Amino acid sequence: MSNVMRRALGWGGIYLVLALLPVAAVVALSPAEGRGFGVELGTLLGLLALAVMALQALVSGRHRWFGEALGFDNLLQFHRRMGLFALLLVVAHPLVMLAARPAWLDYLDPRDDTLRALALIGLLLATLLLVVTSLWRQACGLSYERWRALHGLLAVAVVGGGFGHALMVGHVTRGLPGWLLVGLVGASLLLVAQSRLLRPWRLRRRPWQVVEASPARGDATTLVLAPVGEHRLAFAPGQFAWITLGDTPFRLQQHPFSIASSAARPERLAFTIKRLGDFTTTLPEVPAGTRAFVEGPYGAFLPDAGNPSGAVLIAGGIGVTPVMSILRTFADRGERLPLWLIYANPT
């Protein structure tokens, strides 16, 4: 079994335990109150939905201690699929409970209790909107920046609203199950605050500036950054970073790109970026001196410099940028390992 598979199974087991822990605690500790199998099943589905939604902050937050071992592309795909799974749980929760107790449909009647009904309907619609805008962002006409803001607000609203709903129900949040939910939701909100607030606060002390934005082949732009001050970004060839252009790191405009420059020369960072979207089409016009902020490095696409057999590097199109960083770094360091590059383009 490969190291990646072992790490995936290990973290997957931890994820499964955290997601099922509140459910298991309710099953083990909450006394049966004669509500029937359908009601109990619907309750547990709701708890599982809340736990999965809370854990989404762990999967999507670019946490090195979690993401580096598994690969951020893999985590992104897992995040999307668990979002769909959470939506199914959120929909199944009321359907199962209403099938067991049709009279509870009155809870969704605004004429009976307007605030409660609107809160429950809003929670369901917010979850649906969260998933739909994530899967079909461009079809919804959302720019990346607007989607990022909407995604964050909806996620916090869904987790916070679901937690409030669980507290109002009462019988599933007594004792240990309640404290487990508090810990899970609280950790989720702390992770969101760490990634959206604490990281930008730290980045403001390490600004960069654009030195050059020059055209490159394949309808691409090479963006060269230099640090403002004595700080440097220590990275390994093959890694990537998130870039924010502007006077403050507290912006929604933040995008990931592979570093194309040599890790042996950290006083300059170069990113060769193909024009594929709203942000990337503006890069050729970025003036020199523009303030920038760099979060990273991330990624585990790293060559083994200690392997005397060398490596075969395979890339296509703009995917060659991390490979260029590897080649340039090995050249600057005087590495004598044999390297083969297989590179393909449509033309």
Residue 326 belongs to domain with CATH number: 2.40.30.10
Residues 311, 294 within the same domain = yes
Q: What pLDDT sits at residue 112?
A: 73
Q: What pLDDT sits at residue 13?
A: 86
Mean pLDDT in residue range 178-184 = 83
Q: What pLDDT sits at residue 34?
A: 61
Residues 240, 340 within the same domain = yes
The last residue of one of the domains, among 178, 202, 226, is 202
Q: What pLDDT sits at residue 337?
A: 85
Average pLDDT, the chain: 85
The last residue of one of the domains, among 153, 171, 202, is 202
Residues 34, 80 within the same domain = yes
Q: What pLDDT sits at residue 325?
A: 95
Domain holding 243, by residue range, is 208-344
With 0-12 CB in 10 A as exposed, 13-18 as middle and 19+ as buried, what is 235?
Answer: buried
Q: What pLDDT sits at residue 4?
A: 63
Ramachandran region, residue 178 (left: φ > 0; alpha: ψ -120 to 50; beta: rest): alpha
Mean pLDDT in residue range 109-135 = 83
Confidence of residue 101 (pLDDT cuts 50, 70, 90): confident
* Chain position carrying tokens 């109002």: 168
d(CA 54, CA 14): 14
Q: What pLDDT sits at residue 32?
A: 58
The last residue of one of the domains, among 140, 170, 202, is 202
Least confident of 86-95, 266-275, 301-310: 301-310
Mean pLDDT in residue range 112-117 = 76
Amino acid at residue number 75:
L
- 225, 216, 227: which is closest to 261 by C-alpha? 225
Residues 228, 147 within the same domain = no
Least confident of 75-84, 169-178, 306-315, 331-340: 169-178
Q: What pLDDT sits at residue 264?
A: 93
Confidence of residue 269 (pLDDT cuts 50, 70, 90): very high
- Whether 42 contacts 171, CB under 8 Å: no
Sign for the pseudo-dihedral over CA of 266, 241, 187, 205: positive
Least confident of 26-30, 221-225, 231-235: 26-30
Instruction: Read off the pLDDT of residues 270-304 as tens digits, 9 standing for 90 and up.
Output: 999 998 877 888 899 999 999 999 998 988 777 77
For the chain, the domain total comes to 2
Residues 146, 218 within the same domain = no
pLDDT of 142 over the 90 cut: no
What CATH number does the domain containing 11 carry? 1.20.120
Kindly report the backbone phi and psi dihedral angles of residue 294, in degrees, each rounded to the nearest multiple of 5, phi listed first. Answer: -120, 120
Residues 184, 107 within the same domain = yes
d(CA 294, CA 227): 10
- Whether 16 contacts 78, CB under 8 Å: no
pLDDT of 164 over the 80 cut: yes
Q: What pLDDT sits at residue 254?
A: 87
Instruction: Read off the pLDDT of residues 2-17 as tens digits, 9 standing for 90 and up.
Output: 666 777 788 788 888 8
Least confident of 67-71, 99-103, 189-193: 67-71
Residues 241, 143 within the same domain = no
Mean pLDDT in residue range 71-84 = 83
Q: What pLDDT sits at residue 222?
A: 95
pLDDT of 197 over the 90 cut: no
Mean pLDDT in residue range 317-342 = 92
> What count of other Cβ atoms lies within 10 Å of the Cβ of residue 64?
13
Residues 144, 240 within the same domain = no
- Higher-pLDDT residue of 312 and 34 is 312
Q: What pLDDT sits at residue 259?
A: 96
Tokens, residue 288: 């020199």
Residues 94, 164 within the same domain = yes
Residues 48, 167 within the same domain = yes
Residues 182, 108 within the same domain = yes
Residues 192, 294 within the same domain = no
What 317-322 contacts at long range (C-beta under 8 Å, 24+ apart), as own/partner pairs, is 317/218, 317/274, 317/344, 317/345, 317/346, 318/218, 318/220, 318/272, 318/273, 318/274, 321/257, 321/258, 321/259, 321/260, 321/271, 321/272, 322/237, 322/238, 322/239, 322/240, 322/258, 322/259, 322/260
Q: What pLDDT sits at residue 293?
A: 96
